[in-house]
Amino acid sequence: MKTLILFTTRHGCTAKAAGMLQSRMGQGADTINLMTDSVPALSEYETVILGGSIYYGGIQKQMTEFIKKEQSQLASKRIGLFLCAAEPGEKALKELEEAFPEFLRARAKAADVFGNELDYSKLSLPEKLVFRAVKGKRRRGDGLSSDKINKFAAKMLG
Ligand SMILES: Cc1cc2nc3c(=O)[nH]c(=O)nc-3n(C[C@H](O)[C@H](O)[C@H](O)COP(=O)(O)O)c2cc1C
């Protein structure tokens, strides 16, 4: 039962989350960065986990385009969905709902927002301005939730 974790990221938080998830999924989980790696044949995988991060309210367009292109194959997989995002609680769940289409959310064994991490010093100037507007004087994200990632992996394996 092979698992493919496919992610998009701008500053690396989602790559880290995908790695944490991979280590909890056991043998046979491959991790692919949709923005830089070539994607293996989906037919080799029974489970596909999709993850991205939210900027200005939306997920990376590479993820949206991939889902559109592979819609028919994805519709027959076991699915997991996750985000890295700074918004808390209800707002984060709303972002999750808007990031992934209904046909995937309906199939998902697990779907969650794992939290956020950002190194302020690595942001572009416009990003810094937005980050400060959202986070005030804080210079880092709130961190990724190991607990949420553990629970997500347990649901996917169950
Ligand atoms: C310019 C900018 C805009 C952002 N916009 C949002 C947003 O609309 N909603 C949200 O929940 N998080 C937002 N974030 C937080 C990121 O989603 C979060 O830091 C995430 O961990 C980044 O993941 P990545 O490094 O994988 O791209 C924003 C961050 C920056 C710097």
Residue whose C-alpha is closest to residue 16's, from 130, 119, 138: 119
Which ligand 1 atom is the nearest neighbour of the CA of 113? Answer: 11
pTM: 0.96
pLDDT interval class at 119 (50, 70, 90): confident
Give residue-wise pLDDT tens across range 73-118. Answer: 999 999 999 999 988 899 999 999 999 999 999 999 999 999 999 8
How far is ligand 1, taken at its centre, from the CA of residue 151, in Å? 23
Asked whether the beta carbons of 81 and 68 are under 8 A apart, the reply is no
- Kindly state the average pLDDT of the residues 5-34: 95
How far is ligand 1, taken at its centre, from the CA of residue 117, in Å? 8
Q: Whose CA is nearest to atom 5 of ligand 1?
A: 55
What does the pLDDT read at residue 40? 96
- DSSP states of 119-130: BGGGS-HHHHHH
Percent of the chain at pLDDT exceeding 70: 99
Residue 30: CB within 6 Å of ligand 1?
no
CA-to-CA distance for 128 and 132, rounded, in angstroms? Answer: 6
What does the pLDDT read at residue 12? 95
Residue 62: CB within 6 Å of ligand 1?
no
Give residue-wise pLDDT tens across range 43-69. Answer: 999 999 999 999 999 999 999 999 999
What does the pLDDT read at residue 62? 98
